[in-house]
C-alpha cells in the first residue's frame, strides 16, 4: 500500500489511519514482590490506567481509604464490571524468562478462577494462549508488558 497520499478528486487521503481512543489516566499503581529471609525481591511495577469516567461507576465508595478498598471484593467487582477501557502497564524490575512469567501468570489466574468456580474449558484455553504468547520471550529489566481490555470486547490484548 505504501505511505504516499492517495488523491481522491485532488483531495489527499492518507493510505492508513490509526484510531486513538480517549486517553486513559494512571489511577492506580504498585509493585509485585516477595520477601525471602528479610530480603525484599521486587518483580514488577504495575500501573493501572482507566478512563477517568470510571469514577461515576464507583460513587458508593467515594471517600473510603485505599487500604479499605484494596480488600473489598465488591469494589473490585464494580471496577472490573464498569464499561470503560482498562489498561495495565507492567514494567519488569527483576529479569525473567517469558516461559516462567507465563506459567506463573497462568497459575495465579487459574487458582483465582478455580476459587470463584469459574475455571472451565474456555478459561483453560485462554490461559494456554497466554502461556504460549510468553513462551519465546525474554524479559530484561525495564521490559514492558501491556494488557489492554477494551470496554466492549470480551477479548484482551497482550503485548511485550
Binding site for a copy of itself (CB under 8 A): 1, 6, 8-9, 11, 13-26, 29-31, 42, 45-47, 49, 85, 87, 89, 91, 93, 142, 148, 150-153
DSSP label of 116: T
Q: Closest separation between CB of residue 158 and a copy of itself, Å?
A: 13
Give the closest residue to 148 by CA, choosing from 103, 90, 97. Answer: 90
d(CA 139, CA 146): 13
CA 8 to chain centre: 40
Contacts of 78 (CB under 8 A, 6+ apart): 57, 58, 60, 61
Cell of 141: 529489566
Q: Closest separation between CB of residue 85 and a copy of itself, Å?
A: 7
Q: Closest separation between CB of residue 142 and a copy of itself, Å?
A: 8
Largest interatomic CA distance in the chain: 72
Give the closest residue to 43 by CA, choosing from 51, 34, 53, 52. Answer: 34
Torsions phi, psi for 88 (to 5 deg): -110, 130
107 vs 142, beta carbon nearer a copy of itself: 142
Q: Closest separation between CB of residue 143 and a copy of itself, Å?
A: 11
13 vs 76, beta carbon nearer a copy of itself: 13
22 vs 129, beta carbon nearer a copy of itself: 22
d(CA 131, CA 114): 18
60 vs 153, beta carbon nearer a copy of itself: 153
Q: Closest separation between CB of residue 119 and a copy of itself, Å?
A: 25
Amino acid at each position: 500500500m505504501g505511505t504516499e497520499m492517495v488523491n481522491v478528486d485532488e483531495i489527499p487521503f492518507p493510505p492508513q489511519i490509526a484510531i486513538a481512543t480517549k486517553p486513559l489516566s494512571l489511577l492506580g499503581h504498585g509493585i509485585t514482590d516477595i520477601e525471602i529471609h528479610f530480603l525484599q525481591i521486587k518483580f514488577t511495577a504495575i500501573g493501572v490506567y482507566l478512563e477517568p469516567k470510571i469514577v461515576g461507576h464507583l460513587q458508593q465508595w467515594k471517600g473510603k481509604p485505599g487500604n479499605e478498598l484494596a480488600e473489598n471484593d465488591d469494589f473490585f467487582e464494580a471496577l472490573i464490571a464498569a464499561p470503560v477501557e482498562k489498561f495495565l502497564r507492567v514494567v519488569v524490575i527483576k529479569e525473567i524468562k517469558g516461559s516462567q512469567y507465563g506459567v506463573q501468570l497462568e497459575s495465579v489466574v487459574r487458582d483465582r478462577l478455580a476459587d470463584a468456580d469459574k475455571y472451565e474449558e474456555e478459561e483453560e484455553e485462554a490461559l494456554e494462549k497466554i502461556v504460549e504468547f510468553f513462551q519465546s520471550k525474554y524479559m530484561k529489566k525495564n521490559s514492558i508488558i501491556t494488557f489492554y481490555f477494551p470496554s466492549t470486547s470480551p477479548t484482551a490484548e497482550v503485548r511485550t
